[in-house]
Structure 1
């Protein structure tokens, strides 16, 4: 079965991530002509630049970001690679995680493989010791995967060996003459599998097309897609459980903020009311500028650790912005019920719980729900920034060094 994603939530994700991805790729493209900057520990190497490659074999992990990333030296541990073009030619001791426009792997990988990109190629010399997961537009597998294969794309072609099960989803799935699958093949596609003479599958071949006609599936919840000839329906039980868990997790984050920083959780939402456009503008600029700052730090020698810190804190920033924005919604909607004195913790968490439920329910509205989520998050991030800056300006100055303590 194919799980139909919520269109409102998906649009919200795109609104939040679009400037991030654009900023990252633009900055990497501008860095093409700059030399790579490298930061090394005793075993690990972190590098970024226009053209990136390890200068010598790496004993531990290797993390690289650049316009073009080439691995032609052995990596003893994990390899995490991000670039416009990623080319892996030397052995990887453990897991390989690669993301880029074009991703090519033609070597041994001692652990698992995760690859995402427009074009993903697993060459004839590639051997993946464990399982592989690939997501892209065009995926080609000509090497050997000791475990199973999971993936999705527009076109998936297997002309190599997969010793485990294969579970893929694509507009077209094809097995070449050299394809050899040791386990079962399960594929989701509107088109029938193309299997060349000589291709073998050890287990059962199952097509999960969801392609029943509306007359045959009138009792099934979902929508008929006439362009692809498919009937899409949702696993409602899974969606309900996931929604409840998401609600409880966000509620816990809001309760933690109200408990740890009660004054901040009151004053930051007030910034949205007093300066809505400033908060929204600063929030949008922050979401856009943070990944740019991280990439710029990557292309400097001393800034690579700071760049990773910025990227690590980025999800926390988005979460804090959403919580503060939801707190503002609660204060705005339930303002007639408020008294003059500040609410207690129980009252505040109650307002937040109701506002959070309202926001998440509105997020199910196509288009408008996604825009609402984005605006709430942007405004909350901007309010946090304005409030922190205001506190910094009003903080009392430190006494001069060596100042004598006044006598009582």
Structure 2
């Protein structure tokens, strides 16, 4: 559930007009932050959720910290657990419990003392902060230059030790190459070496699927479980947006029903532009590494557009039956839940269900496109008024 919250908060940085504005709010004792560049000195009494392109935090947090972005730098003194994911992750503050971090390059500085377990996953791993609990490091290149009071499990292509490296417990070591472990780090009697051949591992994984018959049709329970998980995810996503940016959601929701044709056409344009990003990005050659990000943007915008339009249409139907113009937060969530269920039922009708779903996506994307365009294209009315005034004076 924690990683699901990270993903939903991260979508705020990609959603429509939110690209140009940072979001920071405290709700239920927790702190939520999202934006292009998130930099804050925290004084949080609860948990912290941060997402963006660049994340830099300091200060203190009594609860857990969840951070996801491209470049993540956490110097906060964390009282609970720390979860971080990004291309580059740097941890420079003390952590009262466990640390779990993943990325291309992951590092804990000498000041990042961890009172619990440390779990690092990535291409280049650097551990310089002392670890009171156990160490788990899965990476291509691992550099250990810190004391580890508990056991250690290291899987690496190459492993090097700094002058401060020490393992007080047992070491389970798996590597493609033969790695020599200095006696000052850990005696040989406490080292267990396990063979780890990357190529053979992948071949064994592929062989494990041989002879496995996949079901032709999903069972009823599988369908219900998938629907339940999807519904919970969409409701959680809606709750976060309705909490952090309620005015912007209401503005886009009204556009869906008040200007449906124009919004639909804007949705066609917006979705076409997103899909066109993939081949255009690939044709530039240097943009090939960014193709996965373009595909991710399509997935995020598609999901948010579907949810926004379903909510907008459902609210319009409720208003048609003399519903409340300004319903409570709970009633908004109930409306979204009923809309999701209704659209799911329509999916069982051939062709009609697909048309309804796709139309909702285009309406939602159109509303988001209109909001995004309003950020970059100024209102022409003031200039038009000045021009008309000058003509009258002439």
> How far apart are residue 288 of structure 1 and its match?
4.9
> How far apart are residue 388 of structure 1 and its match?
4.0
> How far apart are residue 178 of structure 1 and its match?
1.6
Distance in 2 between the 1:258 and 1:51 partners? Answer: 35
Distance 1:58 1:192, change over 3 A: same
The residue number in structure 2 matching 1:107 is: 93
> How far apart are residue 144 of structure 1 and its match?
1.2
What is the number of equivalent residue pairs in this alignment?
256
**Which SS does the other structure have where 1:174 is aligned?**
strand
> How far apart are residue 176 of structure 1 and its match?
2.2
The residue number in structure 2 matching 1:386 is: 355
**Contact map agreement 1:182 1:202 (CA 8 A) in 2:** no
Which has the bigger relative contact order, CA under 8 A and spacing at least 6? Answer: 1
Task: Report the structure, 1 or 2, having the larger helix content.
Answer: 2
> How far apart are residue 36 of structure 1 and its match?
2.2
Distance 1:384 1:90, change over 3 A: same
Distance 1:256 1:72, change over 3 A: closer
Distance 1:386 1:111, change over 3 A: farther
After superposition, where does 1:6-17 map in structure 2 within 5 Å?
none
1:159 paired to 2:145: yes
Instruction: Give me the TM-score of the superposition, normalised by structure 1.
Output: 0.51
The residue number in structure 1 matching 2:300 is: 291
After superposition, where does 1:47-62 map in structure 2 within 5 Å?
47-62=33-48
Distance in 1 between the 2:136 and 2:202 partners? Answer: 21
The residue number in structure 1 matching 2:130 is: 144
1:46 paired to 2:32: yes
**Contact map agreement 1:178 1:198 (CA 8 A) in 2:** no
> How far apart are residue 112 of structure 1 and its match?
1.3
Distance 1:149 1:248, change over 3 A: farther
The residue number in structure 1 matching 2:290 is: none
User: Which residue of the other structure, out of 186, 200, 204, is the alignment partner of 1:234?
Assistant: 204
Distance in 2 between the 1:77 and 1:388 partners? Answer: 40
Aligned CA RMSD, in angstroms, stands at 4.9
Distance 1:240 1:201, change over 3 A: farther
**Which SS does the other structure have where 2:44 is aligned?**
coil
Distance in 2 between the 1:137 and 1:391 partners? Answer: 41
1:78 paired to 2:64: yes
Distance in 2 between the 1:123 and 1:93 partners? Answer: 17
> How far apart are residue 104 of structure 1 and its match?
0.7
What whole-Å deviation, never above 9, does each CA across 1:239-281 have from its counterpart, x for those lacking one? 799x79x969953444538999xxxxxxxxxxxxxxxxxxxx9
Distance 1:155 1:61, change over 3 A: same
**Contact map agreement 2:91 2:109 (CA 8 A) in 1:** yes
> How far apart are residue 158 of structure 1 and its match?
0.9
Distance in 1 between the 2:160 and 2:56 partners? Answer: 29
The residue number in structure 2 matching 1:368 is: none
Distance 1:294 1:78, change over 3 A: farther
Distance in 2 between the 1:98 and 1:194 partners? Answer: 31
Distance 1:126 1:253, change over 3 A: same
Q: Which runs of 5+ in 2 are unaligned?
A: 1-6, 229-270, 276-294, 306-328, 362-394
**Which SS does the other structure have where 1:38 is aligned?**
strand
Instruction: Give me the TM-score of the superposition, normalised by structure 2.
Output: 0.52
Distance 1:77 1:258, change over 3 A: closer
**Contact map agreement 1:132 1:150 (CA 8 A) in 2:** yes
